[in-house]
Structure 1
C-alpha cells in the first residue's frame, strides 16, 4: 500500500471547505485545506444562514460569534407585483434557532477560519490544484503555489472539491455536472438604507420577470436582488439605474 502525505485534501476555503476542515480537525483526521485565491473575498455573496445550519455550527462549537455578529431575521413578507399577499413568522417554528442569521459571507468565512485556527488548522492560500490522478488506493495530485515554478506532488486518500460552480476538482476528476445555463441575469445591490418599513424583515416580490426582494444586514445595510428577465440593464449599472430598476420591480 502506498504511503499518503495526508488523509484528506480539501480544495476551496469557502464556507463548505472551512466547515469540513473544522470537522476533520475536531476528529483528529490529517488534512490540508487549499485555496487558489491569495486573499479571502471581501464580497457578501451568500448571506442567509438557516436554522439547520445554525444547529450544525452549534455542534461544531462555533455558534456564538455568529449569533453575536449576525442579524436575526424572524419575519418575512411575500408580494405579487409589489402588493403584499402573504407573510410568515419563523418564531412560530418549534426549532432550536427559529430565525435566519443574515451575515455577509466574508464574515462567515472569517469566523470559520478563526475557529479552525483555534483547532490548529490553517488555510494554504495561493495554492491551486493543477493535476489529479486517482487509483484504487488514493489520489495523486499536483499543487501549484503562487510564485513557485515547480508543482508540489502530494499523495492523499481523498480529494474533496469545495471549489464552487466552476470546480477544478470536477474538471480534473473528470465528472459531469448535468444541467444547462439559461442565460439568467440577476441584479445584486448591497447598500446602506433609510427604511420607512418594519425592520428587520425579509421581503420577496414575484413579478413578470421573476423574483425580486431584499433582506437586511446589521447596521441598516441590506441586500437587494432582482431577476431581470428581458429588462435592459448594463452589466455594470449606475446607482441611479439600479435604484430605478429595483423600484419598478418592488413597488406596487
Structure 2
C-alpha cells in the first residue's frame, strides 16, 4: 500500500469512495471502514463519495441520505463532499460536474494533496492501535485462560465428586440388584421345585390312571374272550346234543328195520 501511495507522488489530491445507490450492505460498510482505517483521518478532507446508479433514486439524494444513517455519516466524514452519477445518462456533463467538484476539493485544501508521510503516519497509528489491541487481546486471553482454568478446575472437581457419588450409588444399586436377583433366584428355584413336584405327582397320577385303564381294558377283553369261549362251548354242546339226537334217531330206525325182518 505504501508503494501505491509512492506511485501517485507527490500524492493523490482526492479519494473517490464509489458506492452503488441502494441498500448499503454490511460488506460495503466494512470495506469503507477498512479503507478509512488504512488511510487515517487525514484522508477524510481529501475524500469524496461517488454514488453510482443515480437513476434508481425516486427522490433527491438528500432525501435518500436522510433515510440511510450509515451513508449520511460516511458523507459527513468526507466533509459533505459527494457526487451522483446517473448510469443511464450518456452525456459528459455529469463527468464535468464531478471534475469541477474535485477541483473545489483541491482548492478547499489549498492545493495540497494526501502525502506519503500522512499515510505513514496513518500506518504508524494503525500499528500502534494494533499493538494496543494485541496487548489488550493477550491480556484478555490471559485472564480468560486463567478464568477458564479455574472454571475447568472447579468443573473437574465437581465432576469428580459427581462421578464418585454416581459410583457409590451404582455400587449400592448393584448390591441391591444382586440381593434382589439372589432372592428371585431362590424363589425361582423353589417355584421350579414345586413345579417339578407337581409335575411328578401329575405324571404319577397319569401313570396310575393309565394302569387302571389298561387293567380295566384287560378285564373287558378277558370278559369278552370268556363270553366268546362260553358261547362257543354252548354252541359245541348244542352241536353234540344234535349229534346225539341224530345217532339216537338213527339207532331207533335201525331197530325198527330189524323187527320187520
For Structure 1 versus Structure 2, the TM-score category normalised by the shorter chain is under 0.3
Query: Per residue, is there more strand in 1 or in 2?
Result: 1
Taking structure 2 as the reference length, the TM-score comes to 0.20
Taking structure 1 as the reference length, the TM-score comes to 0.21
Could you say which structure has the greater relative contact order, defined with CA pairs below 8 angstroms and 6 or more residues apart? 1
